[in-house]
Chain A
């Protein structure tokens, strides 16, 4: 089973620069997930991004700012595990490094799901 694990950020929260020690720990965590054979892809996403809306056959770029958006995705990891519980365990380890925050784990459907 594949899962997309994403961290979400609250734009109203004060932006603090991540400390270098956390970067090192995250690096180690990502390496551990690769070595455990579960990590397929990972990356960070720019806050906000470009938004597009399609209406009446026309796709248009929607200009911000998006005050209505409560959350902004800031990072993701695509993993492959035997169960959702394994994904949750990995996510718990992630949060034990990162500290406070929120995220979402969603199954990515594939063959046999």
Chain B
């Protein structure tokens, strides 16, 4: 087997297995950073050996066993791990692999993966570090892949990961799933990370690609994993529903020339019905849990309402405006208010929408969608000169090239 072929297989196995391998190790060594290093060491060993020996029958188990052995060696060898040695010393007295199998078989590995998710998204870390650590440890992405996706230098991502691991160790963050009052806030932090990754892919804030599909897919995959790990959390299903339905529109959102296609002009035949159905199912699961709808469930309900409309004109804008009103109450933000203005403008006329938008000028100064929405509403009122000026301003403010071209077209429209 060629080195290249082996590398591709190692990478594939790694993507599928890394979260479980790292999570299992983290339970053993009680240090997520160390667990990740050990797993990386096993990955390197696979890259060295597999081209020679061929890929083992059960590559995931091979990686786990190697990482575990390295963990045991490391704990034995290094004085710096004396503390951990005392913690699990009694197991190491007769340390062989079977002793550790015992440790690892106490509970389902899924519980460990959930702990790993909560640890990687711990609020003690700055958001970019949470994102990097989550993609690296749970998504199994390499540092350079994360760097490419976020358009930052690889060294920056590497540094974020190193610092994040140190910060977790320094803060003594326990490897556990939060319970009680803490849980909601910690879960919100996890969901924020996933949604941020999704949005980075869906509405790229910079660069030439409107959609970086890889990031969307990764966020969606992690969301589906999380829904399996925490099936009793309505907001998790809400976020998954939202991402499924948004992802369903990916193909229709970009024209053949790479320009963004607004919702009103999208070819709904290109919407992915399978993902929409999955989104609806996830939303129903969230609602079935009976809690009052949280921000993600509400956003998912809005997305589903759009997805179920046969055409833009036949969209139930009154329902959407109502959902936005609930969302403003649940999670007040000027951006949500701006979206409500769009829905109200559609449901109850552009004047009503414009009233809301004009109240947001101070809060959203510098945000390109404010003049863009304002331009839309003005155009519908027949105030075309003002509308063109708004589109020109929006074009100045956006960092996305494709979006800028679209806005400039509208600014130049007769």
Mark A residues whose CB is within 8 Å of B.
Answer: 34-38, 40-41, 78, 80-83, 85-86, 88-90, 96, 110-112
Q: Are the CB atoms of A40 and B278 closer together than 8 Å? A: yes
Q: Are the CB atoms of B225 and A110 closer together than 8 Å? A: no
Q: Are the CB atoms of B225 and A35 closer together than 8 Å? A: yes
Q: Are the CB atoms of B224 and A89 closer together than 8 Å? A: no
- Is B221 in contact with chain A by the CB < 8 A criterion? yes
A80-B217, A89-B9 given; A36·B16 CB < 8 A: yes
- Within the complex, what minimum Cβ distance (angstroms) separates B277 from chain A? 9
Q: Complex Cα distance A41/B224, Å?
A: 13
A41-B274, A110-B272, A111-B251 given; A80·B221 CB < 8 A: yes
Q: Are the CB atoms of B225 and A82 closer together than 8 Å? A: no
Residues of A within 8 A of B214 (CB): 82
Q: Are the CB atoms of B13 and A111 closer together than 8 Å? A: no
- Within the complex, what minimum Cβ distance (angstroms) separates B50 from chain A? 13
Residues of A within 8 A of B213 (CB): 111-112
Closest to A86 in B: B12
Not counting A36-B16, A82-B218, A88-B12, a sample of 8 additional A-B residue pairs whose C-beta atoms are within 8 angstroms of each other reads A37-B224, A38-B16, A38-B221, A78-B274, A86-B12, A86-B15, A111-B250, A112-B211
Q: Are the CB atoms of B220 and A37 closer together than 8 Å? A: yes
Residues of B within 8 A of A81 (CB): 15
Chain A, interface SS category: mixed
Q: Complex Cα distance A38/B19, Å?
A: 14
A110-B272, A111-B211 given; A85·B9 CB < 8 A: yes
Closest to A82 in B: B15
Question: Which 4 A-B pairs rank lowest in CB-CB distance, beginning with the nearest?
Answer: A85-B12, A37-B224, A37-B221, A35-B228
Listed by A's residue number, 24 A-B pairs whose Cβ atoms lie within 8 Å are A35-B225, A36-B221, A37-B224, A37-B228, A38-B221, A40-B274, A40-B278, A80-B220, A80-B221, A81-B15, A83-B11, A85-B11, A85-B12, A86-B12, A86-B16, A89-B12, A89-B13, A89-B16, A90-B16, A110-B272, A111-B211, A111-B213, A111-B254, A112-B211
**Residues in B242-258 with C-beta less than 8 Å from chain A:** 250-251, 254
Q: Are the CB atoms of B15 and A37 closer together than 8 Å? A: no
Residues of A within 8 A of B228 (CB): 34-35, 37
- Is B110 in contact with chain A by the CB < 8 A criterion? yes
Q: Complex Cα distance A85/B251, Å?
A: 24
Mark B residues whose CB is within 8 Å of A.
Answer: 8-9, 11-13, 15-16, 57-59, 110, 211, 213-214, 217-218, 220-225, 228-229, 250-251, 254, 272, 274, 278
Residues of B within 8 A of A96 (CB): 57-58
Q: Complex Cα distance A80/B275, Å?
A: 11
Q: Complex Cα distance A88/B272, Å?
A: 24
Residues of A within 8 A of B9 (CB): 85, 89
Q: Complex Cα distance A83/B214, Å?
A: 11
Closest to A40 in B: B274
Residues of A within 8 A of B272 (CB): 110
Residues of B within 8 A of A40 (CB): 274, 278
Residues of A within 8 A of B217 (CB): 80, 82
A80-B217, A82-B217, A112-B213 given; A37·B222 CB < 8 A: yes
Q: Complex Cα distance A35/B226, Å?
A: 8
Residues of B within 8 A of A80 (CB): 217, 220-221
Q: Complex Cα distance A80/B254, Å?
A: 21
A41-B274, A111-B211 given; A34·B224 CB < 8 A: yes
Residues of A within 8 A of B254 (CB): 111
Closest to B8 in A: A85
Q: Are the CB atoms of B110 and A35 closer together than 8 Å? A: yes
Closest to B58 in A: A96
Closest to B272 in A: A110
Residues of A within 8 A of B12 (CB): 83, 85-86, 88-89
Residues of B within 8 A of A88 (CB): 12
- Within the complex, what minimum Cβ distance (angstroms) separates A33 from chain B? 10
Of B11, B211, B225, the contact of A37 (CB 8 Å cutoff): B225
Closest to B249 in A: A111
Residues of B within 8 A of A83 (CB): 8, 11-12, 15
Q: Complex Cα distance A40/B16, Å?
A: 16
Residues of B within 8 A of A111 (CB): 211, 213, 250-251, 254
Residues of B within 8 A of A110 (CB): 251, 272
Residues of A within 8 A of B224 (CB): 34-35, 37
Q: Complex Cα distance A110/B57, Å?
A: 32
Q: Complex Cα distance A51/B163, Å?
A: 61
- Within the complex, what minimum Cβ distance (angstroms) separates B364 from chain A? 30
Q: Are the CB atoms of A89 and B274 closer together than 8 Å? A: no
- Within the complex, what minimum Cβ distance (angstroms) separates A97 from chain B? 12
- Within the complex, what minimum Cβ distance (angstroms) separates A80 from chain B? 7
Q: Complex Cα distance A110/B213, Å?
A: 11
- Within the complex, what minimum Cβ distance (angstroms) separates B329 from chain A? 32
